[in-house]
């Protein structure tokens, strides 16, 4: 029974819970058992909240028995990236500087999950402060890819993607700043969405790059991702960048799964040198498949996309150098060297030296450089102009087509340690995902097969205009249904790491 429950989709669990075929307590116990059985190998979780999860489940069961009308996620477990504040649970952001910190308030998304009756299983591993593409920048060690435990699960939301791919949770929350939901989803063979910037609240999400950070869902199916997307979205007065507009009808679009007559543009610039052959061949197949389902496919050029990566590595570090100034050893978190002889500035510098890992230091210093007088115009200012040009490329493209598609990542999952001390090689993992972050529009990654050369999953990325998130689900669900029909089973059934 236990394996059956952890193998079910969130939509399936939701229906079984609503029909009274299974209790939230049984569902929660099954997932906690699965975590206990496999997480010493996967290392997806930094904190497992067994007691509070079971208490939440008991509450849902009680309300269900009392005849209360509950939402679709009531009793469905979810894993939460350790970047979201959570009352009663630690929040480390994968950093030593916040080890042992218990936030005094809930993120808006944490609160919405609780209100929806979703069961929070615990907090997932991540690259420190969401800076990285492999979870190797976590101060607490990397998570493992359930397809091959010697490979990375992607990042920065790699604990969330690994937890979902390892059936430890049907759903997980991540954040995407340069690809940190879509890239880990792609390399773990699951679905992950970056909603439109401002569509999901950043309140209580520890800030990395505030003009880019976007919380979003991960799940094993497109419909599951849509259910979580809808539950966490919508205007939040606590986040001044939150968009006050209706949530796009993502669940309905995932159920329709119809692309007939849709205009789909293949981005010329997101292919070629640096792309693994098996990624390109699976992507080409996905495009043919969408065409066979009735979509009209054309090629679209976005000439400034080739400058997206360098622009991102100026904008994101600049914002992070400012945001991470709050870790000053004064009000919370680590404090090092306060022995009565040192002044506050010395204590601050020692604390940040010992509390931050190498990648965070690289980015803080890079951002400090890009924002310093004399360099500002040549670096940060120029990157902001490139950002405008990338938005214009998208605007022109969306004048011709309804969605754009590309591979989600240039390669499949790489080996643990392979890129750990080669920052430029690591940054390339986000080559395809960064444009949508800079433009603030919506994008999804959905599995489109295994690369023939290594048998590892490949993701298809779909990008849609601001607040047209529903189009992502329409296209991804159509592709998922057609692929699953062709394969005879979900892609994840072929994962052999566990």
Partner 1 sequence: MSITRDEVAHLARLARIALSPAELDHLAPQLDQIITAVAQVQEVAAEGIPPTSHATGLTNVYRDDVPVPCLTLEEALGQAPAVELQRFKVPRILGEE
**Which residues are marked as active site?**
81, 156, 180
Which H helix or E strand runs over 41? Answer: helix 24-42
Nearest CB to partner 1, comparing residues 256 and 338: 338
CB of 338 to partner 1, least distance (A): 5
Nearest CB to partner 1, comparing residues 150 and 346: 346
Count of residues binding partner 1 (CB under 8 A)? 72
Q: Where are the alpha helices (DSSP H) in 358-468?
A: 358-371, 382-400, 423-427, 434-439
Nearest CB to partner 1, comparing residues 151 and 304: 304
Dihedrals phi, psi of 178, to nearest 5 degrees? -135, 5
| Residues in contact with 364: Cβ distance below 8 Å, sequence separation at least 6, in sequence order | 317, 320, 321, 324, 356
Q: How far apart are CA 265 and CA 331, in angstroms?
A: 50
Does the footprint of partner 1 cover residue 426 (CB under 8 A)?
no
Q: Which stretch binds partner 1 (CB under 8 A): 30-38, 293-301, 432-440, 480-488?
A: 432-440
The residues in 353-382 that bind partner 1, with binding defined as CB under 8 A, are 353, 356, 358, 361-362, 364-366, 368-370, 372, 378-379, 381-382
Nearest CB to partner 1, comparing residues 238 and 396: 238
Which H helix or E strand runs over 462? Answer: strand 457-464
345, 374, 485, 496: which one binds partner 1 (CB under 8 A)? 345
The residues in 110-139 that bind partner 1, with binding defined as CB under 8 A, are none
Q: Which stretch binds partner 1 (CB under 8 A): 61-69, 226-234, 439-447, 472-480?
A: 439-447
CB of 406 to partner 1, least distance (A): 19
The residues in 302-331 that bind partner 1, with binding defined as CB under 8 A, are 304, 307, 310-311, 313-314, 321, 325, 328-331
389, 481, 482, 498: which one binds partner 1 (CB under 8 A)? 389
CB of 105 to partner 1, least distance (A): 7
For the record, the structure tokens of 1 come out as: 């029974």
Q: How far apart are CA 421 and CA 175, in angstroms?
A: 23
Does the footprint of partner 1 cover residue 187 (CB under 8 A)?
no
Does the footprint of partner 1 cover residue 296 (CB under 8 A)?
no
CB of 314 to partner 1, least distance (A): 5
CB of 343 to partner 1, least distance (A): 5
Sheet holding 403-407, edge to edge: 45-48, 119-124, 77-81, 171-176, 214-219, 191-194, 442-450, 457-464, 403-407, 263-267, 296-300
What binding mask, one character per residue, do residues 30-49 give for partner 1 by CB under 8 A, x or -? Answer: --------------------
215, 410, 440, 465: which one binds partner 1 (CB under 8 A)? 440
- Contact by Cβ (8 Å): 86, 98: no
CB of 140 to partner 1, least distance (A): 19
Q: How far apart are CA 415 and CA 420, in angstroms?
A: 9
Q: How far is CA 79 from CA 50, 119, 172, 476, in A?
A: 12, 8, 4, 23
- Contact by Cβ (8 Å): 80, 228: no
CB of 426 to partner 1, least distance (A): 11
Nearest CB to partner 1, comparing residues 151 and 363: 363
Q: How far is CA 386 from CA 113, 304, 380, in A?
A: 37, 7, 10
CB of 339 to partner 1, least distance (A): 9
- Contact by Cβ (8 Å): 460, 286: yes
Dihedrals phi, psi of 303, to nearest 5 degrees? -60, -25
C-alpha count within 13 angstroms, C-beta hemisphere, residue 81: 32
Does the footprint of partner 1 cover residue 208 (CB under 8 A)?
no
Does the footprint of partner 1 cover residue 395 (CB under 8 A)?
no
Nearest CB to partner 1, comparing residues 295 and 429: 429
Does the footprint of partner 1 cover residue 342 (CB under 8 A)?
yes
The residues in 447-466 that bind partner 1, with binding defined as CB under 8 A, are 466
**Reduced to 3 states, what is the DSSP secondary structure of residue 457?**
strand
Residue 135: name the closest of 83, 170, 85, 100 by CA: 83
Does the footprint of partner 1 cover residue 240 (CB under 8 A)?
yes
- Contact by Cβ (8 Å): 229, 193: yes
The residues in 243-262 that bind partner 1, with binding defined as CB under 8 A, are 243
Q: Which stretch binds partner 1 (CB under 8 A): 22-30, 56-64, 96-104, 289-297?
A: 96-104
50, 391, 482, 498: which one binds partner 1 (CB under 8 A)? 391
CB of 306 to partner 1, least distance (A): 8
Query: Tokens 């604390």 belong to which residue?
Result: 351
Q: How far apart are CA 100 and CA 76, in angstroms?
A: 27
Ramachandran region, residue 135 (left: φ > 0; alpha: ψ -120 to 50; beta: rest)? left
Q: How far apart are CA 86 and CA 206, in angstroms?
A: 11
Nearest CB to partner 1, comparing residues 2 and 322: 322
115, 292, 301, 388: which one binds partner 1 (CB under 8 A)? 388
Does the footprint of partner 1 cover residue 96 (CB under 8 A)?
no
Nearest CB to partner 1, comparing residues 12 and 423: 423
């Amino acid at each position: 029974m236990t394996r059956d429950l952890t193998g079910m989709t969130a939509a399936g669990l939701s229906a079984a819970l609503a029909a009274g075929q299974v209790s939230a307590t049984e569902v929660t116990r099954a997932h906690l058992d699965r975590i206990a059985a496999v997480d010493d190998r996967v290392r997806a979780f930094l904190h497992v909240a067994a007691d509070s999860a079971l208490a939440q489940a008991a509450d849902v069961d009680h309300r269900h028995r009392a005849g209360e009308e509950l939402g679709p996620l009531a009793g469905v477990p979810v894993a939460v990236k350790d970047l979201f504040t959570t009352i009663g649970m630690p929040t480390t952001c994968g950093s030593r500087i916040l080890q042992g910190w218990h936030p005094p308030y809930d993120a808006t998304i944490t609160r919405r999950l609780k209100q929806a009756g979703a069961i929070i299983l615990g907090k997932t591993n991540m690259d420190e402060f969401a800076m990285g593409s492999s979870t190797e920048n976590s101060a607490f060690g990397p998570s493992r890819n359930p397809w091959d435990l010697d490979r990375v699960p992607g990042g920065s939301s790699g604990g969330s993607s690994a937890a979902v791919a390892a059936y430890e949770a049907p759903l997980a929350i991540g954040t995407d700043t340069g690809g940190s939901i879509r890239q880990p989803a792609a390399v773990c063979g699951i679905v992950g969405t970056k909603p439109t910037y401002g569509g999901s609240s950043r309140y209580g999400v520890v800030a990395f790059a505030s003009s880019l950070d976007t919380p979003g869902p991960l799940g094993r199916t497109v419909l599951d991702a849509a259910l979580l997307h809808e539950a966490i979205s919508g205007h939040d007065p606590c986040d001044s960048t939150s968009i006050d507009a209706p949530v796009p009808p993502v669940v309905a679009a995932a159920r329709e799964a119809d692309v007939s007559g849709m205009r789909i543009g293949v981005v010329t610039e997101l292919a070629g040198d640096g792309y693994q052959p098996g990624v390109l061949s699976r992507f080409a197949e996905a495009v043919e498949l969408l065409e066979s389902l009735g979509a009209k496919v054309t090629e679209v050029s976005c000439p400034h996309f080739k400058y997206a990566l360098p622009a991102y590595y100026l904008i994101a570090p600049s914002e992070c150098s400012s945001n991470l100034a709050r870790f000053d050893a004064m009000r919370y978190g680590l404090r090092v060297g306060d022995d009565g002889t040192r002044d506050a500035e010395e204590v601050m510098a020692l604390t940040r030296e010992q509390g931050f890992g190498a990648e965070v230091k690289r980015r803080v210093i890079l951002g400090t450089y890009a924002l310093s007088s004399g360099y500002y115009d040549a670096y940060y200012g120029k990157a902001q102009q490139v950002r405008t040009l990338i938005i214009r490329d998208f605007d022109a493209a969306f004048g011709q087509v309804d969605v754009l598609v590309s591979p989600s990542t240039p390669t499949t999952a790489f080996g643990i340690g392979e890129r750990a001390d080669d920052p430029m090689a690591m940054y390339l993992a986000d080559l395809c995902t960064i444009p949508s972050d800079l433009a603030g529009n919506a994008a999804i990654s959905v599995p489109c097969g295994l690369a023939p050369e290594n048998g590892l999953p490949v993701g298809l990325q779909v990008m849609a205009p601001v607040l047209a998130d529903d189009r992502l689900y329409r296209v991804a669900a159509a592709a998922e249904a057609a692929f699953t029909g062709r394969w005879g089973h979900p892609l994840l059934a072929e994962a052999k790491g566990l």
